Amino acid sequence: MATQADPAALPADNAAGGIFPSLTLLAGWLVPGAGHLMLGKWVRALLLAAAILTMFAVGIALGGKLYSPNTGEPLDILGFLGDLGAGLPYLIGRFAGLGQAPVLVATADYGTKFIVVGGMLNIVAAVDAHSLASGRKRA
C-alpha cells in the first residue's frame, strides 16, 4: 500500500496546492505516461504508456467501438467516459474515424472493452502521477 511521504522532504514546487501536481495530472491524462515522465520516472512512464497504448491499439485493431458523447444512452455515456480517459489517443481516433464500424463479432466486443479499460487505467496512472507530485504517495 502507498505510504504517506514526509512533507518536509518534498520540494517546494511540489507542495500540495501548487500548479505542478495539476499539470502532471493533465499531462498524464492527455498522453499516457507523461505525468510520470514529468516527475523523472521514465521507466514507470514507459511501462504505463506501453500498457495503455497497447490496450488502445489492440482494441482498435480488433474492431472495437469508440463511443460518441451524444447518443443519449446511459451505457454509451459511461463507455464514452471510459474511452475519454485515454486522452489524446481517443481524440485522435475519433477525428481519424476509427472505431466506428458496427460490432458484429465477439472479438470486436473484446476490442471495445480493451479501449474502455485502457482509458480507465490511464486515469488511474494520471492520478498516481498527481499523488507522487503532491507528496501523497512516497516516490
Partner 1 sequence: MTITHFSAVILFAACIAVVFGITQRSEPKMMIRFGAYCFVLLVGATIVASWGMWLIKR
Chain positions contacting partner 1, by CB under 8 A:
1-3, 44, 47-48, 50-52, 54-55, 58, 61-63, 106-107, 110, 113-114, 117-118, 121, 124-125, 127-128, 137-139
CB neighbours of residue 27 within 10 Å? 18
Nearer to partner 1, 56 or 80 (CB): 56
Nearer to partner 1, 74 or 97 (CB): 97
Nearer to partner 1, 55 or 84 (CB): 55
Q: Which of 98, 115, 101, 135 is nearest to 18 (CA)?
A: 135
Shortest spacing between CB 51 and partner 1, in angstroms:
4
Specify whether the CB–CB gap between 112 and 65 falls below 8 A: yes
Specify whether the CB–CB gap between 63 and 103 falls below 8 A: yes
Shortest spacing between CB 71 and partner 1, in angstroms:
25
- Collect all residues with Cβ–Cβ distance below 8 Å to 118 and sequence separation of at least 6: 52, 53, 55, 56, 59, 85, 86
Nearer to partner 1, 58 or 77 (CB): 58
Shortest spacing between CB 138 and partner 1, in angstroms:
5
